Amino acid sequence: MNLLAIVGSPRKGKTTDTLVDKAIESFKSKLPESNVKKINLIDHNIQYCRNCLACRDRETTEAISKCVIEDDMVQISRDVLESDYLIVGTPVHMGFATGILTTFLERICWTFAKPEGKALTLKACPIPRSEKKTKSVYPGF
């Protein structure tokens, strides 16, 4: 089992970073044999999404659609795909997640999803590209 912990705080070693560490400890107590990788997004070169939609519109059978931007998101996306569990921690700035986490989320949306779903009256909602089943650390979630 692989756990990926993502820290969206620009301040390493502070409250959010510490809380993610505590979540990792709790996870390890339940699944001690698991591999854990922690990523502080602030340490990586993650460029802003250019809204070119190449990742959304690219026809591929791969679990990740290639983005036109070549930065650290290439490896981070692989890490997300290889993980069985995911912890995401961010402080709230001005009522929202941090800019670095928002940038990360914008970059993974269409690389991991394809526009084929339907929700209520909305067409082309994202559905996963991967057939991998999701799991929860806590049953019932």
Cα–Cα distance between 49 and 69 in angstroms, integer?
Answer: 8
Cα–Cα distance between 104 and 41 in angstroms, integer?
Answer: 8
pLDDT averaged over the chain? 89
Per-residue CA distances from 90 to 4, 11, 22 (Å): 14, 10, 14
Q: Which residues of the chain carry a pLDDT beneath 70?
A: 134-141
* pLDDT confidence of residue 130: 83
How large a percentage of the chain has pLDDT more than 70? 94
Per the structure block, which two tokens stand in for 96? 């929202």
Give me the helices (H) in 35-124, please: 54-57, 73-82, 99-112
Cα–Cα distance between 56 and 38 in angstroms, integer?
Answer: 27
What are the pLDDT digits (tens) for 60-90?
888 899 999 999 999 999 999 999 999 999 9
Domains detected in the chain: 2-128 (3.40.50.360)
* pLDDT confidence of residue 58: 85
* pLDDT confidence of residue 136: 60
Is residue 77 within 8 Å of residue 70, measured between CB atoms? no
